[in-house]
Amino acid sequence: GPVKEGEETDPEAPNDQKKISGEGSDTVNVPEGTTRESIVTAARSGIGGEYKWGSAEFKSWDASGLVAWVYQDQGVQVP
């Protein structure tokens, strides 16, 4: 998505990725074409699964597992 106020893009990041960092955050590489909508769509695809503490398997996860899966699905490496 677009760079927000207080964030900067890294001109040395690969052309197919945007490297975004904001105050107090780690730097995250976001593949070109990844949007809020694509992230929400990925998250919604996991609705209906069983809660399973500590799991990151599709439709069988806890909250952090869902977040990890969604961003991995979108090609975003979350620190």
Q: Amino acid identity of 14?
A: P
Q: Amino acid identity of 2?
A: P
Q: Which region among 12-26, 27-41, 49-63 has the lowest average model confidence (pLDDT)? A: 12-26
Higher pLDDT, 13 or 33: 33
The pTM for the full model equals 0.57
Q: Answer yes or no: is pLDDT of 41 > 90.
A: yes
| pLDDT grade for 14, boundaries at 50, 70 and 90 | low
